[in-house]
Amino acid sequence: MSRPFRPRAAALTACALLLPALLAGCAEGDPAQDLTRQKPAWKACPAPDEAQGGGASPSPLPGARGRWECATLKAPLDWDDPDGDTIDLALIRVRSSGPESERIGSLIFNFGGPGGSGVTTLPAFGQEYATLRTRYDLVSFDPRGVGRSAPVTCEDDQELDEHFQQDGTPDDSAERTELLDSTKDFNAACEDNSGRILPHVRTTDAARDLDLMRQVLGDDRLYYFGISYGTELGGVYAHLFPDTVGRAVFDAVVDPARNPEQASLGQARGFQRALDNYAEDCVSQVEECPVGDSAQDVRDRIATLLRDLDRRPIPGLFPRRLTETMATSGIAQALYSKDFWAFLTDGLEQAYDGDGTILMALADSMNGRGENGEYSNLVPANVAINCADAEPRYTPADVERLLPQFRKASALFGDFMAWGMITCTDWAVPGAADHPDVSAPGAAPILVIGNTGDPATPYEGARSMARALGEGVGVELTYNGQGHGAYHSEDRCVRNAVHGYLLDGKVPEAGTVCP
């Protein structure tokens, strides 16, 4: 859902293991115990605010009880101090469409990022979950630091425009200094504007929020659908609370065994693989591919375009100009879904003629910029959660040392991904761990779906997650497809497996391949 910063690393602390006692065994009147007894005041949803991306209030779904309802949930600012200050977490739901006697509970969605607003994303895809809605209330939320949930704010809109046009692949010492200074300025602005929340946006914090949410919604177990980063959040939850895992699906799976360097390298390979698949698809069409005569020609022409943009940006969305970095972001955004490949072709063809409008629009989508020039807090939240989770801090010398490996992984995306590793170098909050612990012995089965053509969370991560969850917990399913995730491909085999498990408790055979 977000620009390709390095994917996720998370942390567990000893205090996390105390949460079940804090919530289940507190003395009468303890504030932490009181939080589990909240009664959310559900009411009609307001229009999304700027941090959520703006837009109109969500339209009702067809049929009875199709109105979207919003509420807030109070959670401790600091889970190590549950008696202290609280923050409000924004929730959204639509009630089950089926008979109350067949209702299972609430199915909670996290759509990834990290930094994506679940309050705005769930209604956008709501109709796709009509079958799941027959037995579940559909619920999502803005995780802490995101959207309306104590959002992280950093630079203003004008500063963000300049930040995203900064050269992300420096070629000399002057450009490297400019990139480092831009990163420091962004990180300092985050500390100045959001210092109170920055230490408390780790994935372990969000997992504890998720368990509080489960209890407030009245479910004995967590029913969960995690996508992209949402799979890591779900894995950390399963580690902390294995006994309360209900039916859960992980789609577009983050590899929990990789540290940030390994994850960035894997993502470079993933986006290169997706670009190769796009190029092969384009030249295989009956009509002539307008951006190259062969797959290699497509790749070569894109590389030439990016080199030219590095020297001389072209007009984009006025008054901004399309830079090499913006074009790379736009190309990456188009690789998230095969449905976007036609836009990529149009954008490349247009850029070859000196017009960067389409590629810049795609980059704006990646960066959370609306047509009105206002940014959501997608990227600030993404950086804050990544940097709070990931312990390693990389220097320019580290990047220079690793560049040959990244360029071997991807001639197009390698430099971009490698230099992205300095994002957290000057972050105000120390990172918590090298990678997340998702081991969950004793948990109920979790369906783990990997897509062979996924650019952002490469397919290999699904097998790694299934293995890390533990024997009898992670159940791997492979989808031979393109784009980020599998469920939204509408593949019948994938949908049948997901519906069979979430609705009827039928666990598919491990190793199932679709189609």
Lowest mean pLDDT among 22-31, 153-162, 325-334: 22-31
Residues linked to residue 74 through DSSP beta bridges, in sequence order? 88
Residue 390 has pLDDT above 60, yes or no: yes
- So what's the pLDDT on residue 64? 83
Nearest to 329 by CA among 289, 259, 378: 378
Which tokens sit at 458? 């490469």
Answer whether residue 89 shows pLDDT above 80.
yes
Does 1 have pLDDT greater than 80? no
Q: Of 43, 205, 206, give the one whose Cα is nearest residue 110.
A: 206
| pLDDT above 90: percentage of residues in the chain | 92
Q: What is the mean pLDDT of residues 215-232?
A: 98
Q: Which among 291, 209, 203, 198 has a CA at the least distance from the CA of 23?
A: 209
Q: Work out the average pLDDT over 251-268.
A: 97
Active-site annotation holds for 228: yes
In sequence order, which ranges of 56-152 are alpha helices (DSSP H)? 118-125, 130-133
Q: Which residues does residue 224 pair with via DSSP β-bridges, in sequence order?
A: 108, 248
Residue 291 has pLDDT above 70, yes or no: yes
Contact 270, 336 (CB under 8 A): no
Q: Positive or negative CA dihedral for 119, 120, 122, 126? A: positive
Q: Cα–Cα distance between 275 and 147 in angstroms, integer?
A: 31
Report the distance separating Cα 53 and Cα 368, nearest Å: 7
pLDDT at 289: 94
Q: Which residue is catalytic, options 117, 205, 454, 489?
A: 454
Name residues whose C-beta falls within 8 Å of residue 491's C-beta, 6 or more positions apart in sequence: 479, 481, 514, 515
What is the helix (H) or strand (E) element at residue 469, kind and residue range? helix 460-469
Q: How far apart are CA 68 and CA 139, in angstroms?
A: 10
* Residue carrying the six token digits 């949803």: 45
> Does the annotation mark 243 as catalytic?
no
CA distances for 268 relative to 17, 262, 280, 456, angstroms: 35, 10, 18, 8
- Residue 199: pLDDT band by 50, 70, 90 thresholds? very high
**Which backbone phi and psi does 455 adopt, to 5 degrees?**
-80, -35
Residue 345, pLDDT score: 98
Strand segments, DSSP code E, in 57-103 are 69-76, 86-94
pLDDT-derived band at 12, boundaries 50, 70, 90? very low
Say if residue 15's pLDDT is above 70. no
Sheet strands (E) in 402-500: 446-453, 474-482
As a whole number of angstroms, the distance between CA 357 and CA 315 comes to 7
Q: What integer pLDDT is reported at residue 328 of this predicted model? A: 98
Q: What does 207-275 look like in DSSP terms, one character per residue?
A: HHHHHHHHHHTT-SSEEEEEETHHHHHHHHHHHH-GGGEEEEEEES---TT--HHHHHHHHHHHHHHHH
Helix or strand holding residue 401 (H, E): helix 396-409
Kindly report the average pLDDT of the chain as a whole number. 93
Which residues lie closer than 8 Å to 189 by C-beta, 6 or more apart?
A: 154, 155, 159
488 residue type, one letter: H
- How many CB atoms within 10 Å of residue 36? 15
Model confidence band, residue 34 (pLDDT cutoffs 50, 70, 90)? confident
Find tokens 């009468």 and name the residue.
28
Q: How far is residue 429's CA from residue 52's CA, in Å, rounded to a whole number?
A: 24
pLDDT tier, 26 (very low <50, low <70, confident <90, very high otherwise)? very low
**Predicted confidence (pLDDT) at residue 119 exceeds the cutoff of 70:** yes
Active site residue 488: no
Backbone angles phi, psi at 101, to 5 degrees: -65, -20
* Structure confidence at residue 16 (pLDDT): 31
Nearest Cα residue to 49 out of 195, 163, 149, 193: 149
Q: What is the pLDDT of residues 418-443, one digit of tens each?
A: 999 999 999 999 999 999 999 999 99
Alpha-carbon distances, residue 105 vs 119, 126, 215, 224, 389 (angstroms):
19, 17, 11, 10, 31
- Is residue 287 over pLDDT 90? no
Alpha-carbon distances, residue 51 vs 142, 189, 471 (angstroms): 10, 16, 40
Looking at residue 21, its pLDDT comes to: 33
Confidence band for 477, pLDDT divided at 50, 70 and 90: very high
Confidence of residue 9 (pLDDT cuts 50, 70, 90): very low
Question: Rounded to whole angstroms, how far apart are CA atoms 85 and 96?
Answer: 34
Residue 480's H or E segment, with its range, is strand 474-482
**Strand-strand pairing, 222-227 and 105-110:** parallel
Q: Kindly indicate the confidence band of residue 473, based on its pLDDT and cuts at 50, 70 and 90.
A: very high
Q: Is the pLDDT reported for residue 25 higher than 60?
A: no
Identify the active-site residue in 228, 264, 329, 365: 228
**Inter-CA distances, 144 with 45, 204, 209, 363, 479, Å:** 19, 11, 8, 25, 32
pLDDT value, residue 30: 45
